[in-house]
Structure 1
Amino acid sequence: MDSFAPAKATLTIASKNYGSWSMRGWLLCKFAGLDFDEQPVGSDDPSTRAELLLLSPSFLVPALTHDGVKIWDTLAIAEYLSENVPNCTLLPNDRADRAHCRSVSGEMHSGFTNLRSALPMNLKARHPGFKVWVGAQADIERVISIWRECLAKSKGPFLFGDTPTMADAMFAPVVTRFITYDVKLDSDCAAYCQAIMNLPAVKEWIEGALAEPDEVVELDVEF
Structure 2
Amino acid sequence: MKIIVGNKNYSSWSLRGWLAAKQSGLSFEEIVVPLFGENWEATKQGGEIRPSSGKVPILWDDDVVVWDSLAILEYLSDKVGRDRFWPKDDAARAMARSMVAEMHSSFSALRSECPMNVRKRFEGFEPSEAGKDDILRILGLWAEARSRFGSGGPFLFGTFGAADIFFAPVVSRFISYQIAVPGFAASYMQALWEHEWMQAWISASESEEWAIEQYDTVS
Give the TM-score of the pair, scaled to structure 2.
0.86
Larger relative helix fraction? 2
- Mapped to 2, the partners of 1:209 and 1:47 lie a distance apart of 24
- Mapped to 2, the partners of 1:62 and 1:214 lie a distance apart of 18
Residue from 28, 32, 39 that aligns with 1:40: 32
Q: Quick one: structure 1 residues 132 and 95, their matched pair in 2 at CA, closer, same or farther if it must change by over 3 Å?
A: same
Query: Which deviations, in whole Å up to 9, do the C-alpha atoms of 1:119-175 show, x marking residues without a partner?
Result: 1100111023321121111101111011000000123411111x2111100000000
Deviates more, 1:200-209 or 1:129-138: 129-138
Q: Quick one: structure 1 residues 159 and 46, their matched pair in 2 at CA, closer, same or farther if it must change by over 3 Å?
A: farther
- Mapped to 1, the partners of 2:118 and 2:161 lie a distance apart of 22
Residue from 163, 169, 172 that aligns with 2:168: 172
- Mapped to 1, the partners of 2:42 and 2:22 lie a distance apart of 22
Give the TM-score of the pair, scaled to structure 1.
0.85
Contact 1:159 1:167 in 2 (8 A): yes
Q: Say which SS state the counterpart of residue 91 (structure 2) adopts.
A: helix
- Mapped to 2, the partners of 1:183 and 1:167 lie a distance apart of 20
Contact 1:48 1:61 in 2 (8 A): no
The one-letter amino acid of 2:62's match is D
- Mapped to 1, the partners of 2:110 and 2:163 lie a distance apart of 17
1:72 equivalent to 2:70? Answer no
Query: Which deviations, in whole Å up to 9, do the C-alpha atoms of 1:160-216 show, x marking residues without a partner?
Result: 11x211110000000010000110111100000001001000000000100001533
The one-letter amino acid of 1:159's match is L
CA shift, 1:63, in A, is 0.7
1:159 equivalent to 2:156? Answer yes
> Aligned runs of 1:10-159 on 2, under 5 Å?
10-43=2-35, 44=37, 45-46=40-41, 60-85=55-80, 89-154=84-149, 155=151, 156-159=153-156
Equivalenced residue count is 204
- Mapped to 2, the partners of 1:68 and 1:158 lie a distance apart of 35
Q: Say which SS state the counterpart of residue 187 (structure 2) adopts.
A: helix
Contact 2:34 2:210 in 1 (8 A): no
CA shift, 1:48, in A, is 9.2
Contact 2:24 2:76 in 1 (8 A): yes
**What is the percentage of aligned positions where both structures have the same residue?**
41
> Aligned runs of 1:206-217 on 2, under 5 Å?
206-216=202-212
CA shift, 1:217, in A, is 6.3
- Mapped to 1, the partners of 2:26 and 2:164 lie a distance apart of 17
Query: Which deviations, in whole Å up to 9, do the C-alpha atoms of 1:50-92 show, x marking residues without a partner?
Result: xxxxxxxx97210111021111011111111111125851111
The one-letter amino acid of 2:87's match is P
Contact 1:172 1:196 in 2 (8 A): yes
- Mapped to 1, the partners of 2:198 and 2:3 lie a distance apart of 16
CA shift, 1:23, in A, is 0.4
Contact 2:24 2:84 in 1 (8 A): yes
